[in-house]
A and B are shown apart, each in its own frame.
Chain A
Amino acid sequence: MWYYICLMKRIYFDHASTTPVDPRVLEAMRPYFSELFGNPSSVLIEEGAEPRKALDEARLKVGRLLNAEADEIIFTASATESNNLAIKGLALANRNRGNRILFSDIEHYSVMNQADFLKSLGFEVDYVRVDPYGLVDMEDLERKAKPGTLLVSVMMANLEIGTIEPIREIGLLLKSRGILLHSDGAGACGQIPVDVRDLPVDSMTVSAHQFYGPKGAAALYLKKGVPLRPVMQGGYQEMGYRAGTENVPAIVGLGEASRIAAEEMALRVENLTALGRRLWGGIEKEIDYLHFTGHPTRRLPGHVSFWIEFVEGESLLLWLNLNGIASVSGSACASNVLAADETGLKASHVLTAVGVPPEICHGSIAFSLGPENTEAEVDFTLSTLPEIVGKLREMSPLYRKTLL
C-alpha cells in the first residue's frame, strides 16, 4: 500500500511541540550525570566545584542569547514553571502597583490556567483581544491597561499560529503607565533574535526543548531590580528565587543549546524562512477552501498553519502521520484524546480567539519546520496533502452539500 512505503523515513514538521536534542548539546551534558555529579550548592568540597562552574557557564550562555546579564537568568524545570514563577511571583511582590492582571487571549495554558488561582488570591484577571492575525489589539490593551493594573502577560510568539507579537510596542506602552510586562518566550527564544535590552520586558520565559536542548530545563529572565517573590519555598538556590537542587546536566544542555542558537540563528532563520515559504506557497496552490492562520509575514520562520474546510483535523493529522509526516492539529477531536471523557475535547482557544469558528478549528493543522528539514520533505508533503484532503472530502457529507 502506498502509505506504508513512505513510512521508512519520518518527516518531522512538529518542532513547535518539541525538538530533538542536538548531538553537541548531548555531548556537553554527558559528564554531568555520573562523573561531575556533585551538588552545585556544595561549594566547599571538590565535587561541587565543577558543577557550580558549569551552572555559571550555562547562565552566561543563556544570558548572551537574550543579551541579558548572567545574574538575570533563573533556571527552572520547564516553561510552565517559568511562567508560573514570573506571573505569580511578580503579582505577589508588586501588589503596591495594583491588583489587575491582563493576559492576551492567546496565551499558553501555563499562563491562562493561572487565572483561577490568581483570583483566589484576590487579583482581578482580564483578557486582551487579538486581531484576526493573532496580533494583540493595541487599542484594547490601551483601554484595559487602566490604573490599578500591575502586570500584563503577552507571549513573544504563538506556536499554534506562528504570529510574533509586537512586544516592543506593548512594552513601551506599559512602561509609560508603570505596568510590568512578562513575556512567554518559549516559542521565540532560541529561534528568532530576542534582545531584552531592546524589548521593554520585565521577565521572559525560555524553554530549552524548543530549540534543541533537553526537556526539563528552562529559564526565566528577570530584569535586574524588579521584585519577584518565589512561589516554591525551600533552599536558597537560584539567588533565592527558585528552591531545589538544580538539574545540572539539563541546565548545561540549555546553556549549550543557547550558545549554538546564538551562533547559528541567522543562518537557521534564513533557511527556515525559505522552506516555510515554499510550503506555504505550495499549499496555497494545491488546496482550495483553504485559510491560513496567523500573520502572513510577522511569523516564526518555518511555521505554516492553516485550516481546510470540509476536513476534520484529527483525521487529517492521522493520515499525514500514516504518510510519515508529523504535524499538530488544533481540532477539538485531536485536543486531548487521552482525556477521561469527551468534556476534555475543546477546540483551541487560540484559533477561536483569532476568529476561526469552533466547528472549523476541526480542520486546522500546523507544520513547524526545523533546520534538519529539506526541500524534498516539503515537496513530498505538498504531493501528499492534496490526496489526503481529497480522500477525506470524498468521505464528508458536508462537502457536496455546500458546493451544490
Chain B
Amino acid sequence: MAQGPYSEKVMDHFMHPRNMGEIEDPSGVGEVGNPACGDVMRLYLKIENDTIIDAKFKTFGCGAAIASSSMTTELIKGKSIDEALAISNEAVAEALGGLPPAKQHCSVLAEEALQAALEDYKKKQQEGK
C-alpha cells in the first residue's frame, strides 16, 4: 500500500527490507552518510569471480533510505562489478517506483554506498596481491 508521498514499492521495501543484516568476512564494505544529515548506510558485499554473490545492508534513516538500501541489494546481487558500478541512483529510484523530490538524496546515498563497498573490495584485492 502506498503511503502519502511514498509508492507501494517503497513501502513494501520499507516494511519488508530485503537482505538486511551483515555478512561475516565480507569482500567489501562501504559506509556512507553522516548521522548529522540523517542517514547512515552500510553495505556489505560478497564477491567471487568478479560477481556479487551476496549483498547485505544496515541503514539508519527514513523510509526512503531503508527502501533504497534494500532495493540496491536486490539490484546488484548476481551482477558483475562493472554491471553494478553502472547502476545509478536514478535506477534505484526508478526501481522503487519513484521517490519524492526531497528524498532523491536517499537513492544517491545508496549509489555512494555501493561505490564505497566496491572501492573497498578493490583495495583489499590490491593489498592481497
Seen from chain A, the residues whose Cβ lies within 8 Å of a Cβ on chain B are 3, 310, 312, 314-315, 318, 321-322, 331-334, 336-342, 344-345, 358-359, 362, 394-399
Contact = CB atoms under 8 A, between A and B. Distances in A.
A315 B67 CA distance: 11
Interface string B27-39: 0000100111111
22 contacts: A312-B38, A314-B62, A315-B63, A318-B3, A322-B15, A333-B62, A333-B65, A334-B62, A337-B4, A337-B5, A340-B102, A341-B102, A342-B102, A358-B36, A359-B35, A359-B36, A359-B38, A362-B35, A362-B38, A395-B20, A395-B58, A397-B60
Interface majority SS on B: helix, strand, loop or mixed?
Answer: mixed
A340 B100 CA distance: 8
A315 B66 contact: yes
A398 B102 contact: no
Nearest to A336: B102
Contacts, number: 84
A395 B17 contact: yes
B93 interface: no
B41 interface: yes
Contacts of A312: 38-39, 60-62, 65
Interface in B18-76: 20, 31, 34-42, 58-66
Interface string B102-121: 11110000000000000000
B103 A342 contact: yes
Contact of A342 (B20, B31, B105): B105
Nearest to A329: B62
A394 B22 CA distance: 11
A3 B3 CA distance: 15
B128 interface: no
Given A314-B63, A359-B35, A397 B100 contact: no
B57 to A, nearest CB: 8
A337 B3 contact: no
Interface of B: 3-5, 14-15, 17, 20, 31, 34-42, 58-66, 100-105
B58 A396 contact: yes
A336 B17 CA distance: 24
A326 to B, nearest CB: 12
Contacts of B66: 315, 395
A228 B103 CA distance: 43
A207 B128 CA distance: 68
Contacts of A338: 5, 100, 102
A397 B62 contact: no
A339 B102 contact: yes
A397 B63 contact: no
Contact of B3 (A321, A362, A394, A399): A321
Nearest to A311: B60
Contacts of A344: 102
A333 B3 contact: no
B40 A397 contact: yes
A1 to B, nearest CB: 8
B102 A397 contact: no
B5 A398 contact: no
A333 B58 contact: no
Contacts of A399: 60
B41 A397 contact: yes
Q: List the 4 shortest-distance A-B pairs measured between CB atoms, nearest first.
A: A333-B62, A314-B62, A397-B58, A397-B42
B33 to A, nearest CB: 9
A315 B20 CA distance: 15
Contacts of B34: 359
Contacts of B20: 394-395
Nearest to A358: B36
Contacts of B64: 333
